[in-house]
Amino acid sequence: MSHRRVRWMSRPAGVVACVAVVMVGVGMSDAAFAAGASIEGGRVGKAIYVSKLGDNSDGSSWAKAYHTIQQGLQAAPDEKGGHRVIVRPDAYDEANLYPSHAGSRGAYNVLVGDVDGKLGSGATGWVVVDSGAPELIVRTDHSVKGGNPPFKVVEGGDPKKEWGLKSIDWWGPWRCDPSFSGAIWDRWIFRNIYATGCEGGIGWDMTCKDGTEFSAVVEDCVGIGRFAGAAVMGHVNRPDEPVVFRRSYFMCMDWWGDAGAAYVRASHKKMPETPDAVFEDCTLVSPDNALECGYPGFKGYTRVQFKGCRLIVLNFSQPHGTPSTGIIHTPLDGKQLHVDLDDCTLMGFTVFGAGSGQIGYTTKGAVRAYVQFLQPVPKGFERLRYWPVDVFHAIEPPASGKPAAVKASAKSE
């Protein structure tokens, strides 16, 4: 792994208690949601519509919908929460998105794709945020000093010649850079969003507000990026409101640097008793690390929980080749990362990897691992004899609509 500290996303342009907070409203009927029913049991805010078929006037209805997601996010009128940005299925060539306001406790704001048309858009399919699609020429701004310079947009040239994944630091779907914190997304819910085309999929970096409390919920989404599919960085958890990723699919497409299907790096001075991020019924796919945490020299502590998840690393190299560094990995001292695993299946060359020492962990229920034959399986894991067919089938992201839960099953001895 490279020792370079990789950043992504964008530049300008108790767990039981947690479930009680974030699950309120999750079972809300589509009709009630569209009518303006309370979000997360709290205040009813403004409904804002986004559709390329609207007249781009004020976003108050599908007929008057804004054309871009950024317009919708900026139309949230206050910090009281309960606002909904409802997006018609389509491909949106946008990057560096950010809202005008965070949500509030008990009244999360929501960014939701109308994947099945039940919210009135008349369309079905994914809301795709493709940050590789904007017709811009983007380069690293090497005139800015520091270990991780921002990007710059270059005038002139032919942007059509540069269509494709924009793998450049700080360029991504959700705005953040050394001077702009992803904390603006505090207490937002993402639903039915497919984010791709750049460094990261769905996530946030606190940057200049490192160490701030942060909560968010991601449900039924897909995040794909060079560096990470899902990420949250620089925060500290609220014990009753951790960051939650639920029923979602995340993939990274690189092994270099601190890439991972999920990248979680909190900023605690000691190990917290409750998780900084919770993954429930998620699939995480990577060439090297399903979970990555930290960069060499980082001093903080992080705790992550996986419940009913599938963690899949594709590199099964021979030991004398280039094997993966661990399904769950940190370049730090292992004591700086703790992982709680509940009814999960892991596939990859080896389960854990750390710069030094051992990663802390607990297991609950059936926690199974399929590894390279010479690799040990940690205590508390069931070693799989047979290839876990159902789990491996989960490497394919859902084609449209909400991801279907994959029930892991594998014959073992």
List, for residues 149-163, the tens digit of each pLDDT value: 888 999 988 999 999
Average pLDDT estimate for 109-132: 97
pLDDT range class, residue 218, cuts 50, 70, 90? very high
By C-alpha distance, which of 339, 327, 247 is closest to 287?
Answer: 327
Q: Within its chain, how far is the Cα of 410 from the centroid?
A: 27
Answer positive or negative: Cα dihedral of 81, 265, 196, 252: negative
pLDDT attached to residue 186: 98
pLDDT in tens, 338-358: 999 999 999 999 999 999 999
In 107-192, beta strands by DSSP E:
109-113, 127-130, 137-140, 151-154, 188-191
Which tokens belong to 348?
Answer: 């990859």
Sequence-separated (6 or more) residues with CB below 8 Å from residue 55: 63, 64, 65
Q: How far apart are CA 331 and CA 337, in angstroms?
A: 10
CB–CB of 262/284 below 8 Å?
Answer: yes
**Nearest residue to 198 (alpha-carbon basis) of 287, 138, 256:** 138
Rounded Cα gap, residues 202 and 224, in angstroms: 8
pTM: 0.89
Write down the pLDDT at residue 286. 98
pLDDT of residue 21: 35
- Strand positions, DSSP E, 308-367: 310-313, 328-333, 337-342, 345-347, 352-356, 360-364
Mean pLDDT of the chain: 89
Supply the pLDDT for residue 78: 97
Cα separation, 243 vs 262, in Å, equals: 13
Q: What is the pLDDT of residue 37?
A: 42
Angle, alpha carbons 135-137-139 (nearest 5°) = 145
Detail the DSSP E strand segments found in 13-80: 47-50
Binning pLDDT at 50, 70 and 90, where does residue 291 land? Answer: very high
Give me the residue spans of the domains in the chain: 113-395
Rounded mean pLDDT of 15-39? 41
pLDDT, position 40:
53
